[in-house]
Structure 1
Amino acid sequence: MSELFTLPENAMHASEIARRLEAGGELLDKYLGEEIYANTDSKYLEAQRRRLAQTAAMHAERVGDKPTYLLRAPGRLNAFLEYLDMCAGDHMSTTIDGDIPVAISIRDDDRLNVANANPLFPPDEVSISAEFQRFASAPWGKHADTLDDNWDNRSLIYPHRGRPQGNWINYVLSPYMRFKWEYPEIKLRGADMTFGQATAPFRAGTSSSSALVVLAFLTLYLANRSHLPQMNIQDVCRMLGEAEWYVGTHGGANDQTTILRNPVNSVLYNRHSRPTLESTPLPFVKGVHVVLANSLWEVNKTLGGNQSFNMRKGWMKMGDEIMTLIIEAAADARSKGLNRSEGWLSNLVIEKFGFTPGCRPTLLETHPEYWEKIEANYHKFGSLHEDILGIPNAAINEMVMLLPVKITPEEAGRILGKDKSTIERIYTRPKRKIGGYHLRTTARFFHRENIIGRRLERIFLEAEERTASGALSVDSPEYDNYRLAVGQMVDELQDALSFDFRVSIPQIDLLLTIARRGPGYLGGKLTGAGKGGCVSILVREDDSEAMCAYLDHEYYSRPERFEFYRQVLEDERRTFKPGTIEHESAEERLHILESALKSIPDQRKVVTFSRGACVIEPPA
Structure 2
Amino acid sequence: MSNLFDELNVEDVYDTPAGQQRINNLIVKFEAKFGEQPNFLVRAPGRVNLIGEHVDYCGFPVLPIAIQQDVVIAGRTDETDRKLTVSNADSSFPEYSCNIRDVQVKEVKWYSYVLAGYLGISQRINTLPPGLQVMVDGTVPMSAGLSSSSALVCASALMAALFLKEKSLTRECIAEVCAKAERYVGTEGGGMDQAISFLGVKGKAQLINFNPVRCEPVSLPDSVTFVVANCMVNKWKADGTDFNNRVAECRLAADVLATKLGLDWEKVQKLQPLMVARDMTPKELLENVEQHLHSGVYTRDEIVDILKVSDSTFASIIGKSSNEVFRLYDRAVHVAGEAARVAEFRRLCDENPADVQALGRLIDESHDSLKVKYNVSIEELDNLTQICKGAGALGSRLVGAGFGGCTISMVPKEIVDQFIFKVWEAYYKPLNVSEEEATSKHLFVTSPYAGACVLKVPS
Establish whether residue 177 from structure 1 lines up as the match of residue 15 from structure 2.
no
Render the CA deviation track for 1:505-560: whole Å, top value 9, x for unaligned.
11100111111111x3111111111111011111111212212111111111114x
Q: Distance in 2 between matches of 1:115 and 1:619?
A: 21
Q: Is the 8 A contact 2:207 2:218 kept in 1?
A: yes
Residue in 2 that maps onto 1:404: 294
Q: Deviations over 1:380-407 (max 9, x none)?
A: 2124768x85345554333212123321
1:544 partner amino acid: V
Query: What secondary structure is seen at the aligned counterpart in 2 of 1:130?
Result: coil
For 1:158-169, list aligned pairs within 5 A.
Answer: 160=105, 163-164=106-107, 166-169=108-111
**Residue 207 of structure 1, CA deviation:** 0.5
Highest CA radius of gyration, 1 or 2?
A: 1
* SS of equivalent to 1:486: helix
Residue in structure 1 matching 2:395, options 523, 540, 556: 523
1:208 aligned to 2:80?
no
CA gap 1:237/1:247 in 2 versus in 1, 3 angstroms: same
Contact 2:330 2:374 in 1 (8 A): yes
TM-score with structure 2 setting the length = 0.89
1:64 corresponds to which of 11, 35, 51: 35
Aligned-CA RMSD value: 3.0
Change (3 A) 1:596 1:321: farther
Distance 1:254 1:613 in 2: 14
TM superposition shift of 1:263? 0.9
The 2-side partners of 1:4 and 1:73 are apart by 14
Q: After superposition, what is the alpha-carbon deviation per residue over 1:215-254, rounded to whole angstroms, capped at 9, x for unaligned?
A: 10011011111xx484343332211101000001111111
For the Cα contact (< 8 Å) 1:484–1:522, is it kept in 2?
yes
Change (3 A) 1:442 1:182: farther
Q: Which residues of structure 1 form unaligned runs of 5+?
A: 11-16, 22-27, 133-159, 332-374, 465-478, 560-593
Aligned residue among 179, 190, 198 for 1:252: 190
Distance change (3 Å), C-alpha of 1:615 and 1:407: same
Asked if the contact 1:237/1:253 (under 8 Å) is kept, the reply is: yes
Q: Which amino acid aligns with 2:372?
A: F
What whole-Å deviation, never above 9, does each CA across 1:253-276 have from its counterpart, x for those lacking one? 11001001111111111111xx53
In structure 2, runs of 5+ residues without a counterpart are none
Q: Which amino acid aligns with 2:430?
A: R
> In the alignment, which residue of structure 2 is the partner of 1:322?
256
- Relative distance call for 1:286 and 1:527 in structure 2 (3 A) is same
Contact 1:90 1:382 in 2 (8 A): no
Counterpart of 1:79 in 2: which secondary structure? Answer: strand
Partner of 1:217: 157
Equivalent in the alignment of 1:121: 93
User: In 2, are the aligned partners of 1:4 and 1:233 still within 8 Å (CA)?
Assistant: no
The structure whose residues are more often helix, as a share, is 1
What is the match of residue 610 of structure 1? 449
Query: What is the aligned length?
Result: 454
2:244 to 310, 314, 318: 310
Residue of 2, 5, 8 corresponding to 1:7? 5
2:293 partner amino acid:
L
Q: Look up the match of 1:53.
A: 24
User: CA-to-partner distance for each residue in 1:178-201, whole Å, 9 max, x for gaps?
Assistant: 344455x343334211123x3211
Matched position secondary structure for 1:235: helix
- Between Structure 1 and Structure 2, the one with more strand by share is 2
What is the match of residue 438 of structure 2?
A: 600
Shift of 1:174: 0.6
- The equivalent of 1:501 in structure 2 is 374
- 1:442 paired with 2:324, answer no
- Contact 2:6 / 2:454 at 8 angstroms: preserved in 1? yes
Q: Give the AA of the match of 1:605.
A: F
- RCO comparison, higher one (Cα < 8 Å, 6+): 2
- What per-residue deviation string (whole Å, max 9, x for no partner) do you get for residues 366-386 of structure 1? xxxxxxxxx9x9772124768
Q: CA deviation at 1:93?
A: 0.6
Per the alignment, do residues 238 and 393 of structure 1 end up closer, same or farther by CA in structure 2, a change over 3 Å counting?
Answer: closer
Q: Structure 1 residues 219, 502: closer, same or farther in 2, change over 3 A?
A: same
3-state SS, counterpart of residue 558 of structure 1: helix
| Residue 458 (structure 2) pairs with residue 460 (structure 1) | no
* In structure 2, distance between residues paired with 1:9 and 1:394: 45
Q: How has the CA–CA distance of structure 1 residues 128 and 251 changed in structure 2, closer, same or farther, with 3 Å as cutoff? A: farther
Give the 5 Å matches for 1:352-371: none
